[in-house]
Structure 1
């Protein structure tokens, strides 16, 4: 599986992006490992990693269903009580810092996979909800997003393009992905930069904001369509440090975002001259201005 993964252009783009943006940090390495690292593991390595990862003080529990707090507590105590406490420090926070540029990784085929990004916003930032709505309008809401409209529908340069706030516990970036014909790669990259300029210059309108607020508040209830989904949401809330009443106030937080908030955060987040593009393919007419990182 890992041997196949390192021959996949999507995987190559993702891993190159991570190595460039998080050099020296655990996020720079693949979570599944590589053929070389996994092949070198010993039994002691596996047991040591298990002891470091499964600890009693880093467990989050979400539960839903026909169970009382007392019954749940007994189950959790029995499971967690057997685990050791952590004895390893967690990583330092690391924002994406590849810097502006283009990295080309040669790969045979008719298309180029393009992953692009720049520093993002931490999940606990006061502007995160505004950034979340901004991204849904710009690149996160499928066929209704600005990027899909301009790059796929208006120009036919890609089948799909998206952006997301990759705001993890120990690092963040604002990242996007698309594929296009090798002959279109340079034009597609410039168009992405143009759209980030549109975003920074206040392109989002009140109509855009109200549309996404209506969608997000209406769709939120669909996350709670069964006990498994509810338990997953409750555990995720704890992991992200959300208050216990978050499910009750989340839609109010979405509705409270104003167009002025969106424009302010757009100027902070949308920095077209800071974008770094990783291009895996044989792009025509595209000059690399940053070397690909060593394997």
Structure 2
């Protein structure tokens, strides 16, 4: 049992309070460890028929456990890909350059078992297929393009400035402490976070991206109409084929 307590009390009072809480809880059985999910191979495209002028697109795949050492590097990578508004690659390609959406975002969720990577946006039906091509191509380019050192430094500065907001209230402090206990993180995780973030280099981010982002193994879910899973899968495979052809041309 993991219990996090914050508020106007000292360590002794917290221990006494936790003892009173635990005394009243019935004894249970230890939960079995969560099994690892099976890794996906290839594309899995699902269409949810939805009659509207806008379609919603979500694509992603399994990600890491919270305890994985690459988590921080992927958090930095996500800021560059789709977690930092107009400074992110997805927003630049889908909104700024083409006006396909009001917002395109990516995220990671890291859990006790396999987490989730996903990117999401909404767009008009008439440009749905082309927007999927651009979103997927942006992901491919992100995986295969070296990290820009200036952008990395700016991203880390932004994350460091935002970090204090994650424990700016009793509730947020409690959530952080609860996560440390629940996921078995080091007790000095919060104090060491800035140092660990500053120590990350471009090659660390790139290696994590190559290991854990897979444009060739995606589940794609579209809530829309007048489009088939076959159309989308063909488009995704064409994007990968174009990447392979470009790589061969460079080698020649």
Q: TM-score range by the shorter chain?
A: 0.7 to 0.9
Aligned residue pair count: 232
Structure 1 residues 206 and 262 mapped into 2: Cα distance closer, same or farther (>3 Å)?
same
Which of 78, 87, 95 is 2:20 aligned to?
78
Q: Could you list the per-position Cα deviations for residues 201-227 of structure 1 after superposition, in whole angstroms to 9, with x for gaps in the alignment?
A: 124300111011001111111222222
Structure 1 residues 196 and 110 mapped into 2: Cα distance closer, same or farther (>3 Å)?
same
Correspondence for 1:114: 57
The worse-fitting range, judged by mean Cα deviation, of 264-273 and 94-103 is: 94-103
Q: Could you list the per-position Cα deviations for residues 8-40 of structure 1 after superposition, in whole angstroms to 9, with x for gaps in the alignment?
A: xxxxxxxxxxxxxxxxxxxxxxxxxxxxxxxxx
The worse-fitting range, judged by mean Cα deviation, of 117-126 and 154-163 is: 117-126
Contact persistence 2:104–2:121 (CA under 8 A) = yes
Correspondence for 2:222: 279
Q: Could you list the per-position Cα deviations for residues 36-88 of structure 1 after superposition, in whole angstroms to 9, with x for gaps in the alignment?
A: xxxxxxxxxxxxxxxxxxxxxx2x22223321212111111111222123324
| TM-score, normalised via structure 2 length | 0.84
Listed as ranges, the matches of 1:44-123 within 5 Å are 58=1, 60-87=2-29, 88-94=31-37, 97=40, 99-123=42-66
Listed as ranges, the matches of 1:210-221 within 5 Å are 210-221=153-164
- Counterpart secondary structure, 1:168: coil
- Counterpart secondary structure, 2:230: coil
Listed as ranges, the matches of 1:76-225 within 5 Å are 76-87=18-29, 88-94=31-37, 97=40, 99-225=42-168
Correspondence for 2:237: none
Matches of 1:200 and 1:218, distance apart in 2? 26
Contact persistence 1:95–1:171 (CA under 8 A) = no
State the Cα distance separating 1:272 from its structure 2 match.
Answer: 1.6
Contact persistence 2:50–2:224 (CA under 8 A) = yes
Matches of 1:93 and 1:263, distance apart in 2? 25
RMSD: 2.0
Correspondence for 1:265: 208
Consecutive aligned runs of 4 or more in structure 1 exceeding 4 Å deviation: 283-286
State the Cα distance separating 1:130 from its structure 2 match.
Answer: 0.9
Matches of 1:109 and 1:201, distance apart in 2? 35
| TM-score, normalised via structure 1 length | 0.73
Contact persistence 2:49–2:223 (CA under 8 A) = yes
State the Cα distance separating 1:243 from its structure 2 match.
Answer: 1.0
Structure 1 residues 83 and 95 mapped into 2: Cα distance closer, same or farther (>3 Å)?
farther
Matches of 1:278 and 1:231, distance apart in 2? 35
